[in-house]
Amino acid sequence: MTATAPSVTLPVLADMKKRGEKIAVLTAYDASFARVLDACGVDIILVGDSLGMVIQGHGSTLPVTLEHMVYHTANVARATRRALLMADMPFMSYNSPQSALDNAGRLLQAGGAQIVKIEGGAAFVPVVEMLARHGIPVCAHLGLLPQSVHKLGGYRVQGREEGAARAMVADALAMQEAGADIMLLECVPAALGAEISATLRIPVIGIGAGPHCDAQVLVLHDILGMTAGKPAKFCHNFLQGHDSIAAAITAFVQAVKSGTYPGAGHSY
C-alpha cells in the first residue's frame, strides 16, 4: 500500500461495509507515525484523547484539552494523504450543541480533521444533529466511555445485562438517525457488537467488541507492545515476530482485513 492510493472517504467506508471488507483503524499523535500508518494501508487514523495517557502520562483522558487535540491533529494531518483523519472531541468540549459546533469547527479548520468523535448515547442527539446540520461528520462512541470513567466506576465491560444491551442498541439507532456517520463500540460483548453492526447501516468500529464489527481499532502503542501495566484483553502485540514498526502495522492491517484479528481470545 502506498500513500498515493485513492483517499478514504465516508462513501468509501460505506461501500466497504456493504461489501463486507474490513476497515483497519489505528491511533497516531504525530507526523512521523502518521506517515507510516498511511503508507501501510490504515484506513482511518484516529487522533485519540488517549494521548492523555500514552503521550502525556496521565491516568485517564480527562486532562486532555481542545488545544492539545488541535495541536496533535494538525501534526498528523500534515503527514496523512490517504487515510480518513478522525479526531476525538475531549472532555467537556461538546457539553452543548453550540460548544460542540464551535469546538468541532476548530478541529476541522485548525487541526485538519475530517470527522470528529464524541462519547455518549441518546442524550447527545442534539449535538450530533447540530454538527450534521453544519456538514461536520461525526463518529458516535458507545459502550465503555473513557471520559465517564469515574461515573462508570472504572474501565469495565458494558452491556452485559439485557437491559443495558437493549439500551445500547436504542442509543446506536438514535445516533445514526441524528446523523452520525460512523459508530464506535468499546468493550462490549461480542454478541452485542455483532447485533449493532448488523442493525446499523453506518460502519461500526470495534475495540474489544468482537470480530463481527465492520472495523477494528487499537491504540498504536498497544500494537507495539508499549502498554503500561497489564494489557486489556483485546490488545495484541503485533511487533512481536516482526523486525520493524512498519511491519507490525502492516501485520495489524492484514490481520483485520483477513479476519484473524480479533480472535476469540480478544473478545468478551
Task: Say if 227 falls within a structural domain.
Answer: yes
- Cα(238)–Cα(23) distance, integer angstroms: 17
Task: Say if 139 falls within a structural domain.
Answer: yes
Task: Say if 225 falls within a structural domain.
Answer: yes
CB 117 within 8 A of CB 89: yes
- Cα(39)–Cα(69) distance, integer angstroms: 23
SS3 27: strand
CB 194 within 8 A of CB 12: no
Task: Say if 149 falls within a structural domain.
Answer: yes
Count of other CB atoms within 10 angstroms of residue 209: 36
Q: Does the predicted model carry a pTM greater than 0.85?
A: yes
Residue 4 pLDDT: 60
Task: Say if 174 falls within a structural domain.
Answer: yes
Task: Say if 211 falls within a structural domain.
Answer: yes
Residue 2 pLDDT: 45
Task: Say if 137 falls within a structural domain.
Answer: yes
Task: Say if 4 falls within a structural domain.
Answer: no
Domain total of the chain: 1
- Cα(59)–Cα(120) distance, integer angstroms: 21
CATH number at residue 167: 3.20.20.60
Q: Is 186 a catalytic residue?
A: yes
Residue 228 pLDDT: 84
Catalytic: which of 119, 161, 177, 186? 186
Mean pLDDT by runs of 10 across the 268 residues of the chain is 76 98 98 98 98 96 98 98 98 98 98 98 98 98 96 93 98 98 98 98 98 98 93 96 97 98 95
Domain that holds residue 41: 10-266
